[in-house]
Each structure stands twice: as structure tokens, then as C-alpha cells.
């Protein structure tokens, strides 16, 4: 088969479409004939040599895909050859085929095209596991989503609104109208506004009950300042560095909490539990049209370098898909 390989870490042109060995399904796995994958921020880091795949994962980038089951391994029940699926991967989505444990498979939601379905697994699993399962966002609460125009952000805004929460989002101004259409009640241009002040202004001074943060170190103190009493800050990205100063007094006074999680490195059993939760609690929202995949553009997989340039420029809104004929 062909896959995007990274012979030498570097810029987008480090991505090479090359012949590689075909995967075979191990026990409890299926092989998917891939129709589409999607670019995640982590893929850019992997390309640069900063984010090696976890042990046992394919060496090629790609944390999600959609396609058709092409082969099933020993002991697999409930899934069969020819079935359309999408999947959460530990790597290997930028390829014609990938082997994946059945616990990471999801049916293609009704009403969603096979290619578009590749936009969903990584964001649905990340957002549901952090916003619903970990932070327990309530219907009468306020969610602040940093990076609202990202793949993660566009899903988180819709998910928060679907739960009935009030959703605030930070993004540069060019993305504001589209964020309002997705359900954000207030949008904050972090490049010209103090997001702490804007969050307070949008919540009658209370602050946000849950913050989903992709910035990390540079925002730690201000995120705690933007939390309401009893608030929960969940850090999932470190685009602003891994270190910051935490004022425990401020946290203590608010009875607030700070957590940080990563999805890719979790054991298969934990990923399977998240995928089950997504299937039960998120897929019905997608199938009823309350949440939709937000696709910025489709790029042929062999031209993944072009897709990486787009994501690196931050001009995209939602997901950039990598497609195969
Ligand atoms: N921990 C996990 O398990 C996990 C899983 C998936 C993703 N993530 C993380 O989640 C983040 C989003 O991933 P993605 O693939 O969806 O990213 P993406 O589509 O590449 O989008 C990243 C966006 O971040 C925004 N941004 C940059 N600096 C910002 C700031 N200071 N404040 C607000 N927004 C800012 C940019 O939008 P503007 O144009 O508005 O600046 C950019 O479009 C990444 O950091 C990724 O590593 C974590």
C-alpha cells in the first residue's frame, strides 16, 4: 500500500507518499480500507520530530480515519468486511490501509458521508472525554472554548451548545461569525481583548464553569482568573508552552480544579471506553443533525504537505480532510 512517510523530520515537504508494507489484522483488530483521514495539530509536531508515535502504533501520521472494513482478525465479532466505519487511531491514518482494535471503531453516523466521517473521531473523543466525562459540564453552566475555530474548538462549541450550556469561544475575528452560527453566544478576539475581562463581562462577573484550553502555560494564571467558583479548567494543548505559574491561593479560594489530559497515549482499553461513551452520548446528537462535522476543505492524501501548510497558517476553520479516491 501507499502511506505518507516522514524519512527525515522537518517542514511540510518532509511528508512523502511512498510504498510501505500492508498491515494485517491482529487478534481483535480489523483492517480499514481508508477513504479519508484528517489533519490534527499533533501531526504537525510528529512531522517535526517532536511527537513520536506511542509503542505499537504505525509510524505514519494520522489519528483518525473513515473507510470500509477490508479484513477482520481472529476473535472479532459484530463487525464485518464491507462495513463503512470511522475510527480513532494511535497513528497510521495517512495511508491506504490501517489495522485498528475494534474498540476504537465507530459506525458512520446516519446522515454523514463516508469522507466527512473522518472529521469526527478525534474531536468527538477528545471533547466528550474532557468536557462531559471529566469536567461534567452542566446544562445551566458556561463553557469557555479556547481556539474556537480549530477542529477541536468547532466541535466543542457545538457540543456545549447541544448540552444546553452557554458557550463562549476565543478566536481571531475572521472566525467569529461562523462560531456564532455553531452556537457560541459570545466570541472573544484574544488578539485584541483580555479574555478574562470578556469572560467576566459575558457571565455577569461569575466567570466560566468549564474552560477547555489548548494554550497551556501562557494562559494558566489567566485561565484560573477566568474560572467561576467551583470551576474546572481542562488543558488539552500546549500551544503556549508547558510551564506556567499556578496561584494555588486563587484556586483554593474558588474551590476550582485544574486537569490536563492526552488521548493518544491512553491504553487501548481506555480509548475503547471513550469510544463507547461517544457512541452512546455523542452519535445521537450527530445523527439528529444537532452537531455536524465542520470541514474546511478536502485535500488529496498524497498532497498532505499542502494540507499541513494550510493548518500551520491557521487560516482554516474546522477540519482539513485528506482524501483517497
Ligand atoms: N490532549 C489531547 O488529547 C488532544 C487531542 C486533540 C487535540 N489536542 C490539542 O487541541 C488543540 C487543537 O487541535 P486541532 O487539531 O483542532 O487544532 P487546529 O485545527 O490546528 O487549530 C489550532 C487553532 O488554535 C488557534 N489558536 C492559536 N493560538 C491561540 C490562542 N492563544 N488563543 C486561542 N486560539 C488560539 C488558532 O486559531 P486562530 O486563527 O483563532 O488563532 C488555530 O486555528 C491543539 O493544541 C492540539 O494539540 C489535544
What domains can be seen in the chain, in order of their start residue? 2-120+264-323 (3.90.180.10), 124-260 (3.40.50.720)
Atom of ligand 1 at shortest range from CA of 318: 19
pLDDT tens per residue, range 55-79:
889 999 999 999 999 999 999 999 9
Q: Cβ(147) to ligand 1 under 6 A?
A: yes
CA of 240 to the centre of ligand 1 (A): 10
In this prediction the pTM is 0.98
pLDDT higher than 90, residue 325: no
Counting ligand 1 atoms within 8 A of each CB, the residue from 214, 274, 309 with the most, and so the one to mutate, is: 214
Atom of ligand 1 at shortest range from CA of 315: 39
pLDDT tens per residue, range 15-35:
999 999 999 999 999 999 999
Q: How many angstroms separate the first and last alpha carbons of the chain?
A: 14
Please give the sequence-ordered ranges of beta strands (E in DSSP) within the chain, or none if there are none.
2-5, 16-19, 29-38, 64-72, 84-88, 97-101, 105-107, 142-145, 166-170, 186-188, 208-213, 227-235, 257-260, 295-300, 319-323
User: Whose alpha carbon is nearest atom 16 of ligand 1?
Assistant: 151
Q: Cβ(236) to ligand 1 under 6 A?
A: yes
Amino acid at each position: 500500500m501507499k502511506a505518507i512517510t516522514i524519512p527525515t523530520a522537518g517542514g511540510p515537504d518532509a511528508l512523502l507518499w511512498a510504498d510501505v508494507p500492508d498491515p494485517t489484522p491482529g487478534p481483535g483488530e480489523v483492517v480499514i480500507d481508508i477513504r479519508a483521514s484528517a489533519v490534527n495539530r499533533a501531526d504537525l509536531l510528529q512531522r517535526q520530530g517532536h511527537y513520536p508515535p506511542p509503542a505499537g502504533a504505525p509510524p505514519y501520521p494520522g489519528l483518525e480515519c473513515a473507510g470500509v472494513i477490508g479484513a477482520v482478525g481472529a476473535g472479532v465479532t459484530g463487525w464485518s468486511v464491507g462495513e463503512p466505519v470511522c475510527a480513532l487511531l494511535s497513528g497510521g491514518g495517512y495511508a491506504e490501509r490501517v489495522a485498528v482494535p475494534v474498540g476504537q471503531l465507530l459506525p458512520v453516523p446516519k446522515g454523514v458521508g463516508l469522507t466527512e466521517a473522518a472529521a469526527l473521531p478525534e474531536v468527538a473523543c477528545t471533547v466528550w472525554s474532557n468536557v462531559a466525562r471529566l469536567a461534567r459540564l452542566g446544562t445551566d453552566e458556561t463553557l469557555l472554548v479556547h481556539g474556537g475555530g480549530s477542529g477541536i474548538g468547532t466541535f466543542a462549541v457545538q457540543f456545549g451548545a447541544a448540552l444546553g450550556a452557554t458557550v463562549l469561544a476565543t478566536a481571531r475575528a475572521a472566525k467569529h461569525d461562523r462560531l456564532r452560527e455553531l452556537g457560541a453566544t459570545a466570541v472573544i478576539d484574544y488578539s485584541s481583548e483580555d479574555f478574562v475581562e470578556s469572560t467576566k463581562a459575558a457571565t455577569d462577573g461569575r466567570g466560566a464553569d468549564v474552560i477547555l484550553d489548548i494554550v497551556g502555560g501562557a494562559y494558566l494564571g489567566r485561565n484560573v482568573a477566568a474560572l467561576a467558583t467551583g470551576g474546572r479548567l481542562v488543558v488539552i494543548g500546549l500551544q503556549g508552552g508547558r510551564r506556567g505559574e499556578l496561584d494555588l491561593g486563587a484556586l483554593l479560594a474558588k474551590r476550582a480544579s485544574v486537569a490536563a489530559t492526552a488521548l493518544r497515549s491512553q491504553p487501548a482499553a481506555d480509548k475503547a471506553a471513550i469510544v463507547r461513551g461517544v457512541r452512546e452520548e455523542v452519535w445521537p446528537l450527530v445523527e439528529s443533525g444537532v452537531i455536524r462535522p465542520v470541514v474546511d476543505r478536502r485535500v488529496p492524501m498524497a498532497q498532505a504537505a499542502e494540507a499541513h501548510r494550510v493548518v500551520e497558517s491557521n487560516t482554516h476553520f474546522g477540519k482539513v480532510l485528506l482524501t483517497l479516491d
